[in-house]
Amino acid sequence: MSSSSPFVFVLTGIVMSAAAQIFLKIGSSFRVLKFEWLLYLFLSLCCYAIAFLGYYLALRYYEISKISPVMMASIVAIVAIYGFLSGERFNLPKLFGIALAIVSIIMISRS
């Protein structure tokens, strides 16, 4: 693992955190304790564990003041990925908000 780029840890944390929340959303449409619900809960927990490991490893290479805002990109990823997968329409204010969040993350990480 030490030969991996620290950026890979950041990206893994972001993608896995977004995937975990999407699995939770999908699982919430099933009855509690049914097989499908348990499956999506398990997938979500696995993704959260991988995201936690990615965050942990990223913190070994980056200052917390820079990595924490970048990790918040998972929120933008959730909106974009789930919106796309569910067929949600993106209006101008939502697109502007996503773009503003991305610009803010870039500005904070470069400061």
- pTM of the shown model: 0.80
- Neighbouring CB atoms inside 10 A of 57's CB total 19
pLDDT string in tens for the chain (111-residue length): 455 688 899 899 999 998 999 999 999 999 999 999 999 999 999 999 999 999 999 999 888 888 888 787 778 888 888 888 888 888 999 889 888 988 888 887 777
- What the block records as the tokens of 65 is 């003041």
pLDDT score recorded for residue 40: 98
d(CA 108, CA 67): 9
Closest CA to 47 of 19, 76, 10, 11: 19
Closest CA to 78 of 23, 25, 19, 27: 19
pLDDT score recorded for residue 46: 98
d(CA 44, CA 24): 6
pLDDT score recorded for residue 98: 87
